[in-house]
C-alpha cells in the first residue's frame, strides 16, 4: 500500500434500512480519505470476486469500501426485485444514511461504484434531490435503466465499458448523452462485459481509483470501530 497498510476496520456489518437488515463488509484502511459504497449487478452479491478486487485497489489508495447485499435472501427469491431499480436505489440511499450516522464515516466524502444493474441503481440514487455523493463509477453498467433520472445526476460520473462489449457500449454512449453532470466514458480495449481478459479488470480498477480519488480526496478524521446495527 502507498498509505498506512494496517486496516482500522475489516469486518462484516449488519445494516438496518427501515424494517430490513442487510449484511455488508466494511473495510477502512489505516489512513482514510473517502468511502465508496458498492452496488453489485444481478446474480451477484457482496462476495463478488470482481468487486472485491476493485475494493482492494481502492483500499490501497486510502478509500474505505462497503460491499453489501442489496436484497435480503427472501427478496432475492422474487426475480422482479433484482431489476427493480427504484428499490435498489432506495437501498443504496439507506446505506448512505446508515454510514452518515457512524463516526467518522459520516464525515467522509462518499462515492458509488456500481456494476451492471447496480450501476443503474447508483445513478438513480445519485439523481435524488438530497443526494450528496461526490462521485459515481459504473463498470460494465446499464445506466440506461436509470431512464429519465440520468439528467438529474449531479455527481461526476465515470462510465467504464469493455471495448468488446458492443451492446452495452452503445447503451453507455446513449446514457452519457443524457447526463448533464461532469462525465467521462472510458473504454477498456479488448475487454468483454465481465472484464475477464488478462489485465482488463486491473485497468478498470485503476480507472475507478483515479476517478474516485480525484473527486473524494480530502482530509478525514480518525476512525472508530462501528457497532453492528
Which tens digits make up the pLDDT trace of 23-68? 999 999 988 999 999 998 766 678 788 899 999 999 999 999 999 9
Cβ neighbours for 57, distance < 8 A, ≥ 6 positions apart: 202, 205, 206, 208, 209
CATH topology of domain 9-216: Rossmann fold (3.40.50)
* Residue the block writes with cell 480530502: 218
Q: Strand ranges (DSSP E) for 29-91? A: 34-39, 63-68
pLDDT digits (tens, 9 = 90+) for 143-202: 999 999 999 999 999 999 999 999 999 999 999 999 999 999 999 999 999 999 999 999
Other beta carbons within 10 angstroms of residue 6's beta carbon come to 10
Q: How far apart are CA 56 and CA 70, in angstroms?
A: 20
Amino acid at each position: 500500500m502507498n498509505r498506512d497498510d494496517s486496516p482500522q476496520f475489516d469486518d462484516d456489518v449488519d445494516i438496518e434500512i427501515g424494517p430490513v437488515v442487510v449484511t455488508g463488509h466494511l473495510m477502512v484502511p489505516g489512513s482514510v480519505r473517502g468511502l465508496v459504497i458498492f452496488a453489485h449487478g444481478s446474480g451477484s452479491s457482496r462476495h463478488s470476486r470482481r468487486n472485491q478486487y476493485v475494493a482492494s485497489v481502492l483500499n490501497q489508495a486510502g478509500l474505505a469500501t462497503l460491499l453489501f447485499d442489496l436484497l435480503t435472501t427472501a427478496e432475492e427469491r422474487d426475480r422482479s426485485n433484482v431489476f427493480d431499480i427504484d428499490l435498489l436505489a432506495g437501498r443504496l440511499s439507506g446505506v448512505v444514511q446508515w454510514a452518515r450516522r457512524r463516526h467518522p464515516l459520516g464525515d467522509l466524502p462518499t462515492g458509488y461504484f456500481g456494476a451492471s444493474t447496480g450501476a443503474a441503481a447508483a445513478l438513480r440514487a445519485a439523481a435524488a434531490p438530497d443526494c450528496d455523493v461526490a462521485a459515481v463509477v459504473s463498470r460494465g453498467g446499464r445506466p440506461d435503466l436509470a431512464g429519465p433520472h440520468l439528467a438529474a445526476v449531479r455527481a461526476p460520473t465515470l462510465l467504464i465499458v469493455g471495448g468488446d462489449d458492443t451492446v452495452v457500449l452503445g447503451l453507455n454512449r446513449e446514457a452519457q448523452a443524457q447526463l448533464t453532470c461532469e462525465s467521462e466514458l472510458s473504454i477498456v480495449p479488448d475487454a468483454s462485459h465481465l472484464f475477464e481478459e488478462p489485465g482488463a479488470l486491473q485497468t478498470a480498477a485503476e480507472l475507478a481509483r483515479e476517478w474516485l480519488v480525484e473527486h473524494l480526496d480530502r482530509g478525514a478524521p480518525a476512525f472508530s470501530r462501528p457497532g453492528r446495527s
